[in-house]
Each structure stands twice: as C-alpha cells, then as structure tokens.
C-alpha cells in the first residue's frame, strides 16, 4: 500500500524563491564596489571572488534541490528533498556571512583610501543583515513545514498499519469460516451416507 506524499506549500515556495533572489542581489551588491578596477581594496589575495564563486555553487545546489521530485510520491518533493532544500539554504546563509565578514575586512582597508566606503559598507551591512534575517525566517518556515510533513507521514503510516491489521484479522476470520463450512459439509455428507445405508 502506497503512502500518499506531502508537498511544500506554494506560499513557502514563493517566499523561499524571493528570499534567494534577494540574497543573490545583495551578494552582487556587496561585490560590485570591490570589483571596480579603479579601487585598490580588491587585492589578488582577496577571498571575495572565491567566496562569490562558492556561493554560486551553493545557489546552483539549492536550485537542483528545489527541482528534485520523487516519482514514488507523484513527482512531489519528498522529505529528503525538503531536507536538501533546508541544507542548501543553510549553506547559502553561512556563505553570505563569510562574504559579509570578508567585505567588512575589505571595507576597513578601503576606508583609508576613500571615505565613501564607510557609508557604502554601512548600507550594505544593513541590507545584508535584513537579507540574512529574511532568509533565516524562510529557513525556519521550511523546517516547520518539514516537521509537519514528518508528522503527517507518521499518521499515514499508522493508518496503513491499522488497515493491514484489519485485513489480517479479516483474512483469519475468513479462513476459520471456510474451515467450519468444510467441516459441516463433510458432516452432512457423512450423515447422508449413513442415512442411505439404513434405508
């Protein structure tokens, strides 16, 4: 007996997509002032290009996890698929923090060359903090949805076990009834034969 699948609510899907789009936009906003060729703050040993490349890999992993569908559950995300989405989002949140940390170090170095970096960094930090808070909120929503799906699955499994027990009980009753009918049939046949002999 197949257990029916669970799916992520459309509202949660939309909010996660919006959070990820916002997160990508913030990451590029963080990097744009540093990628300008006239700025001396981006040194050859700067970790920002590497961190941004790693973040892109994590974003691709998130997109792949979101696209996962389990044919066993009617092409809807399974519990494992939802967990992969949660893990991918957590990786992006952590990488965003590393990017913000690297940006903070770069900003401190750049403040000696130009005062406007201080204002830009403050604005980007506020935006990034808001983005991290929004992403963390969406992540909590996905985790709650995963827990709800697990609870639904447990209830469904319990119902399946109850139905299997009822089926086993019905089959046992049927075997007993069939045996009783066969015994009564043999008894009737024996009585009929005995009656014929007497007659």
Contact 89, 135 (CB under 8 A): yes
Instruction: Give the predicted TM-score (pTM) of the model.
Output: 0.36
pLDDT for position 15 = 54
- Residues 72/77/80/84 CA torsion (nearest 10 deg): 150
Output the 3-class SS for 94-141. HHHHHHHHHHHHHHHHHCCCCCHHHHHHHHHHHHHHHHHHHHHHHHHH
How would you write the pLDDT of the chain (199 residues) with one tens digit per residue?
333 334 445 555 555 665 555 565 555 555 555 554 434 345 677 888 888 899 899 888 888 877 776 555 556 767 777 888 888 888 888 988 998 888 888 777 766 666 676 677 778 888 888 888 888 888 888 899 889 989 999 999 998 898 888 888 888 888 888 888 888 888 888 888 888 888 7
């Amino acid at each position: 007996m197949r257990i029916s699948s669970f799916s992520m609510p459309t509202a949660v899907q939309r909010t996660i997509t919006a959070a990820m789009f916002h997160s990508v936009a913030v990451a590029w906003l963080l990097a744009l002032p540093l990628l300008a060729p006239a700025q001396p703050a981006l040194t050859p040993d700067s970790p920002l290009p590497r961190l941004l490349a790693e973040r892109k890999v994590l974003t691709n992993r998130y997109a792949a996890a979101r696209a996962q569908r389990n044919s066993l559950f009617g092409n809807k995300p399974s519990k494992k698929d939802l967990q992969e989405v949660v893990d991918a989002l957590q990786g992006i949140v952590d990488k965003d923090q590393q990017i913000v940390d690297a940006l903070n170090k770069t900003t401190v170095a750049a403040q000696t060359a130009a005062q406007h970096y201080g204002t830009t960094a403050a604005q980007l930090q506020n935006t990034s903090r808001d983005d991290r808070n929004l992403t963390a909120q969406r992540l909590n929503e996905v985790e709650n949805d995963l827990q709800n799906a697990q609870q639904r699955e447990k209830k469904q499994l319990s119902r399946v076990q109850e139905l299997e027990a009822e089926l086993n009980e019905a089959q046992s009753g049927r075997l007993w009834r069939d045996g009783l009918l066969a015994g009564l049939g043999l008894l009737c046949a024996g009585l009929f034969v005995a009656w014929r002999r007497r007659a």
